[in-house]
Amino acid sequence: MNAKPDAPDLPARVVTRDRVIAAVEDALLTGQFVPGHAVTLRGLAAQLGVSPMPVREAIRVLSSANALDVMANGRIRVPTMTRRRFDELLHARVLLEPHLAALALPNLREIAGELVRIDDAIDESLVTGDVIAYMRRNHEFHFRIYRAAGSEIILPLVEHVWLQFAPFMRTVYGRVGTSVVEDRHKEAIEAIKHADAEGLRLAIERDILDGMGLIGHSVLDGPPPQAIRRGKPATKQPQTSAARRPD
């Protein structure tokens, strides 16, 4: 769900609404909407520097995608994660994302270098403890691959799924500090370089299972293991402030 680019024939209201949607989506994908913490429509509008109307329209769009709940008192929050919801999100990711990556493979060799640079930025964010940068770069890595497939059907489904689980991944990083996962991205890059569709599918699937496993353990089953390695161990612990709930 990406905001449409500005166009001279679009009404200003529509342009503002789309910008608000993009801003709220980014907040969801980087974990700035904290599960369990409700916000008001007016508070969100003030934070974004717009009137409540485009925020109301954006929230309507995102609630229809199951990314946000509008409560009876009008406050807005991330939907509660239940075991059933988690299992469906995991199943959807494993079904859709490896397939989408394989579809994109013929178009990926020319961007392998770009994927390496994004993955290096992910490693750096783990070292510095910048949780928001980590989540933003991780999303960028996956969707740089997925968008190369040119899918008009599967890609929007995957975008909706990411909006629903990303806030809980931020919760995980807030609880476990510098837990790092096996670097499946490097496996994916190697598969791309060798035009190995099955290797790419497996790398993406394993990456999903690693990340969703952290969510499952932390959110549903209690604290996850203290450290799951992602390449070389990070040399610096993430700062507590990186996982702090935004004001």
CATH number where 127 lies:
1.20.120.530
Q: Are residues 71 and 91 in the same domain?
A: no
Same domain, 124 and 182: yes
Count of structural domains within the chain: 2
The reply to whether 30 and 113 lie within a common domain is no
In a domain, 192, yes or no: yes
Query: Cβ(242)–Cβ(132) under 8 Å?
Result: yes
d(CA 103, CA 224): 33
Q: What is the percent of the chain with per-residue pLDDT over 70, rounded to a whole number?
A: 82
7 lies in a domain? no
- What is the token pair recorded at 189? 């890059």
50 and 155 in a single domain? The answer is no
Report pLDDT for 177: 53
Contact residues for 193 (Cβ-Cβ < 8 A; gap 6+): 109, 112
* Residue 39, helix vs strand vs coil: strand
Q: Which residues of 122-160 are buried (b: 16+ CB within 10 A; e: fewer)?
A: bbebbbebbbbbbbbbbbbbbbebbbbbebeebbeebbb
CA–CA separation, 45 and 56 (whole Å): 9
Same domain, 38 and 134: no
- DSSP conformation class of 225: P
The verdict on residue 183 lying in a domain is yes
Q: Show the beta-strand stretches assigned E in the chain.
A: 69-70, 76-77
CATH code, domain with 17? 1.10.10.10
- Domain of residue 101, residue span: 86-242
The per-residue pLDDT for range 192-220, each reduced to its tens digit, is 999 999 999 999 999 999 889 888 887 78
Residue 149 and residue 238 in one domain: yes
pLDDT tens, the chain, 247 aa long: 554 445 455 678 788 889 999 999 999 999 889 888 999 999 999 999 999 999 999 999 999 999 999 999 989 999 999 999 999 999 999 999 999 999 999 999 999 999 999 999 999 988 888 889 999 999 999 999 999 999 999 999 999 999 999 999 887 776 665 445 678 999 999 999 999 999 999 999 999 998 898 888 877 875 444 433 444 333 333 333 333 333 3
